[in-house]
Amino acid sequence: MSKYLKPEHAAFYRLQVLSAERISPGFVRITLGGESLSSFRYMGYDHWFRLFLPQPGQSEPRVPTATSMLWYAQYLTFSKDTKPVVRNYTVRDFRPAGSGLHGEGTEMDVDFVVHGAEHGGHAGPASSWAVRAAPGDHVAIFDEGRIYNPNTEASWQLLVGDESAAPAVLGILRSAPEDSRVRAFIEVPTEADIQKQDVPPGVELTWIVRPNLQAKPGDAALAAVQKAELPEGEPFVYVAGEQGLATGLRRYLVNERSVPKSQICFTGYWKFGKAAP
Ligand SMILES: Cc1cc2nc3c(=O)[nH]c(=O)nc-3n(C[C@H](O)[C@H](O)[C@H](O)COP(=O)(O)OP(=O)(O)OC[C@H]3O[C@@H](n4cnc5c(N)ncnc54)[C@H](O)[C@@H]3O)c2cc1C
């Protein structure tokens, strides 16, 4: 099973913030737009990208010219004060030209988890940027395509994520065929962070509210799956979020529920107490 479904044309897109809204205590929704976005081929599901943010004093991030995997080698040669902050994010929603909320152009929504001291954790440059972002701010993205790629005949699917993977799990549910059989679990910091979304009839989506803001993200989702009565038959499993959730759930499903490793797509999105490299 191939882990990634890469875009046909890997490319950088220079974009501007069209709007920034604190949609709930734990999330800021940023809408991005710009001329180049009209050539972005949205693949649905958990389509993700690398986000490039400017350094203080720069109005736009410096972006590598190479678009193959060579971009990273070039990025490493940038001096410290011009090297953009790079973090990974998911397309929460995509509106082609003519169907946008902020004009005639193509638009992309991104939901950023807010994770500062007020949430019992540490801030990072990307979440801090999102909290301060305003219309007209410049960013760039590098298209990475999809991780979710269930090349399998499994009779049902199990999707699990913490709040950082809420856009991915909700994106998969939005793109899923109408006859999908899915059990999905999404953990969020507070009740107010639960997002409304219609799902196909065969989908049972459970929102789990963290018991308190000091608890480690992902632990409550892991416990919920361990307690859950799950459908019979071999599932395809997709789990993403804090590293301990991804590896802990995989270990549990392999050891306690006899799910073959090959049926589990697990991705550590971030690591508790450790900034992204
Ligand atoms: C494929 C992919 C898609 C992703 N999509 C999204 C998305 O759509 N929305 C989203 O919000 N995140 C998403 N993430 C996760 C995001 O890339 C990380 O959370 C990233 O570390 C945030 O960068 P930062 O600069 O805010 O914090 P960093 O500088 O990386 O970290 C600073 C501190 O914050 C902590 N931290 C990092 N992330 C979180 C968090 N989510 N909650 C609590 N503490 C945290 C770290 O442990 C560290 O102590 C995705 C990751 C991947 C790999």
Reported pTM:
0.97
Which CATH number is 244's domain given?
Answer: 3.40.50.80
Q: What pLDDT does residue 247 have?
A: 98
Q: What digits encode the pLDDT tens for the residues 41-55?
A: 999 999 999 999 999
CA nearest ligand 1 atom 41, residue: 164
Number of domains within the chain: 2
Give the end of a domain, one of 121, 145, 169. 145
* Greatest extent of the chain over all pairs of C-alpha atoms, in Å: 57
113-122, 193-202, 234-243, 246-255: least confidently modelled range:
113-122
Q: Is 3 in the pocket of ligand 1 (CB under 6 A)?
A: no
Q: Do 42 and 92 fall into the same domain?
A: yes
Q: Which residue, judged by its Cα, is nearest atom 4 of ligand 1?
A: 89
Residue of 169, 173, 168 whose CA lies nearest to 145: 168
Q: Residue 185 domain-assigned?
A: yes
Please state the three-class secondary structure of the chain as a single string.
Answer: CCCCECCCCCCEEEEEEEEEEEEECCEEEEEEECHHHHHCCCCCCCCEEEEEECCCCCCCCCCCCCCCCHHHHHHHCCCCCCCCEEEEEECCEEECCCCCCCCCCCEEEEEEECCCHHHCCCCCHHHHHHHHCCCCCEEEEEEEEECCCCCCCCCEEEEEECHHHHHHHHHHHHHCCCCCCEEEEEEECCHHHCCCCCCCCCEEEEEEECCCCCCCCCHHHHHHHHHCCCCCCCEEEEEEEEHHHHHHHHHHHHHHCCCCHHHEEEEEEEECCECCC
Residue 102 CA to residue 33 CA, distance in Å, equals: 9
Q: Is residue 6 part of a domain?
A: no
Cβ–ligand 1 distance for 271 under 6 Å, the answer yes
Could you tell me if the CB of 115 is within 6 A of ligand 1? yes
CB of 61 within 8 A of CB of 32?
Answer: no
pLDDT of residue 10: 87
Q: What gap in Å lies between CA 225 and CA 234, rounded to an integer?
A: 15
- Residue 38's pLDDT is 97
* pLDDT single digits (tens) 157-211: 999 999 999 999 999 999 999 999 999 999 999 999 999 999 999 999 999 999 9
> Does 263 contact ligand 1 (Cβ within 6 A)?
no
173 and 134 inside one domain: no
Q: Is 48's C-beta closer than 6 angstroms to any atom of ligand 1?
A: yes
Which residue range forms the structural domain that includes residue 225?
Answer: 156-270
